[in-house]
Structure formats: C-alpha cells, structure tokens
Amino acid sequence: MGTFLFSAGVFAVILFYSGSSINENFNGLTIRFLFGIVIGLTAIGIIYSPWGKQSGAHMNPAVTLAFLGERSNRGTRHSTSSPTS
C-alpha cells in the first residue's frame, strides 16, 4: 500500500506541478488520462510482483492482516466447547 501511495505522489508531482514541462505541454484532460494510466500500471505491477503474490495484492491492509492472522491461527480450535470423545 505504501509503494502504491508513494508512486501516486511522485507521478502526481511530475504530472500536475505547474512548472513541469509535461504540465506546460499538455492540456488537463490528457494529463488526467496519463495519470490514470500510470496509476493503473502501478497497481498491475504491484499485483504481479513477488510482494503481490505473497500477500494476495490486497489493496486494503485489513484484508492482508486478517489473512496473516488466520495463517497464524491454523491448528487452533476456534470453539470454546470441549470435544466429546
């Protein structure tokens, strides 16, 4: 998630900064289109990277933490009742 936000910030500064040569040479619609493409490619890159394969590329950190918690609780009983033998 941090990598995605970092790249979004960097590309936003590059594309939307008023002193940027890209901002001076293209109109607003083209810049927004380029920003959408770059952010989409960033998300695809993260999903197919080794980080994405490890965590399932969840954009919501709560989902990743829930899967991590589930993985650490394997083999434990979630029921409070005692087994009847």
The predicted-structure confidence for 11-68, as pLDDT tens digits, reads as follows: 888 888 888 887 788 888 888 898 889 888 888 887 787 766 665 555 667 777 777 7
- Residue 47 near residue 57 (C-beta atoms within 8 A): yes
- Residue 84 domain-assigned (yes or no): no
28 domain-assigned: yes
- Core vs surface per residue 39-51: b (16+ CB within 10 A) or e: eeebbeebeeeee
- In a domain, residue 83? The reply is no
19 domain-assigned: yes
Q: For residue 57, is it left (φ>0), alpha (ψ between -120 and 50) or beta?
A: left
pLDDT higher than threshold 60 for residue 84: no
Q: How many domains does the chain contain in total?
A: 1
Q: Which structural domain, as residue segments, surrounds residue 28?
A: 2-63
Domain assignment present for residue 42? The answer is: yes
Is this model's pTM higher than 0.75 or not? Answer: no
